[in-house]
Amino acid sequence: MGLFLTTTHHLNQDVAFIDTDAAGNKNFGGVQEGDVVILPAFGASVHEMKLLHDKQVQIVDTTCPWVAKVWNAVDNQTRKGHTSVIHGKWQHEETVATASFAGTYVIVKDMKEAEYVCDYILNGGDREEFLSKFENAMSEGFDPDRDLDRVGLANQTTMLKVLRGGGGCWVGGGCLFLGVVGCVAGLLMVCVST
């Protein structure tokens, strides 16, 4: 998640990183009341921020404003009862944080996965195959037969790049709320509008 400063005495400061195990779980055991915790540009999940608040640490939030903008979009989708289709890598810290703001979500990594979700929206499909394919990339209890009726879209800032050469499927810096990058946005917008 980033680093934290242990300030046990005015003249004695230690700097340490919050350890992460092989499964990606962070160990906050070393963080104590009064420590200063610096959140990285990718941010932190809602759960992590609550845990740090409960530990009564001083938080220095360096979350990128573009990342926070994506969080706000996902939070808005959740309040409207929409499923968030998040363009990102499910294990990436930025995506983990974004998904924590969503009620119901599925994370698509690339054009192939986005097309799979669109095809499922338009034509239905094998529910068990969908659940297996997105096993680590969806909210708990996700049901593609129920949860893809109303969707909102969000791009992770780390995912913005050229998806296809020459065809105009390119998005420059910043983050887009309206699509899952270039062509994927158009494809999902067609799915949503039918």
CA distance linking residue 49 with residue 1, whole number of Å: 11
User: Catalytic residue at 94?
Assistant: yes
Q: Which of 33, 48, 93, 94 is labelled catalytic?
A: 94
| Residues belonging to the active site | 94
